[in-house]
């Protein structure tokens, strides 16, 4: 079945540590997105990518980094500069750049600080 796979489901970070969240899609989608969700809140856009080797900052990119070396993969690194990283992280993709296209989401990664 086609879809988006996020791993791990749960992740713990020690202070000062960088951690990387994985997002893989086998839908052959061009666009990919990373969102952060805090308890009881909506989704906030961290980064998005329209095409391989290109990505743009969203609304809350500070303390995060991404790469898009392959079409199917869009990993997110939460760096030590992100002082409040505890949140639910969601990866999404969209088939083309057409604005009518719907988003497909992964099942999320819950990141907590030890």
Partner 1 sequence: DAKTTQPNSMESNEEEPVHLPCNHSTISGTDYIHWYRQLPSQGPEYVIHGLTSNVNNRMASLAIAEDRKSSTLILHRATLRDAAVYYCILSTGGYQKVTFGTGTKLQVIP
Regarding 92 and contact with partner 1 (CB under 8 A), the answer is yes
| Number of residues in contact with partner 1 under rule CB under 8 A | 30
Residue 48 in the binding site for partner 1 (CB under 8 A):
yes
- Which of residues 22, 50, 67, 80 is near partner 1 by CB under 8 A? 50
Per-residue binding string, partner 1, 58-87, x by CB under 8 A, is xx----------------------------
Structural contact between residues 21 and 36, judged by C-beta atoms closer than 8 angstroms: no
- Could you count the other beta carbons within 10 Å of the beta carbon of residue 101? 14
Element (H, E) at 45: strand 43-51
Does position 112 interact with partner 1 (CB under 8 A)? The reply is no
Phi, psi of 99 (to 5 degrees): -70, -15
Site string for partner 1, 25-44 (x = CB under 8 A): ------x-x-x-----xxxx
The footprint of partner 1 (CB under 8 A) covers 4, 31, 33, 35, 41-45, 48, 50, 56, 58-59, 88, 90, 92, 94, 97, 99-108, 110
């Amino acid at each position: 079945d086609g879809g988006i796979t996020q791993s791990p489901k749960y992740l713990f970070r020690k202070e000062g540590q960088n951690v990387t969240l994985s997002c893989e899609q086998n839908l052959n989608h061009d666009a990919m997105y990373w969102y952060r969700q805090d308890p009881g809140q909506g989704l906030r856009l961290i980064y998005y990518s329209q095409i391989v080797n290109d990505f743009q900052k969203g609304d809350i990119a500070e303390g995060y980094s991404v790469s898009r070396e392959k079409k199917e993969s869009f990993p997110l690194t939460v760096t030590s500069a992100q002082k409040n990283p505890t949140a639910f992280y969601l990866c999404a993709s969209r088939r083309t750049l057409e604005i009518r296209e719907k988003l497909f989401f992964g099942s999320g990664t819950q990141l907590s600080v030890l």
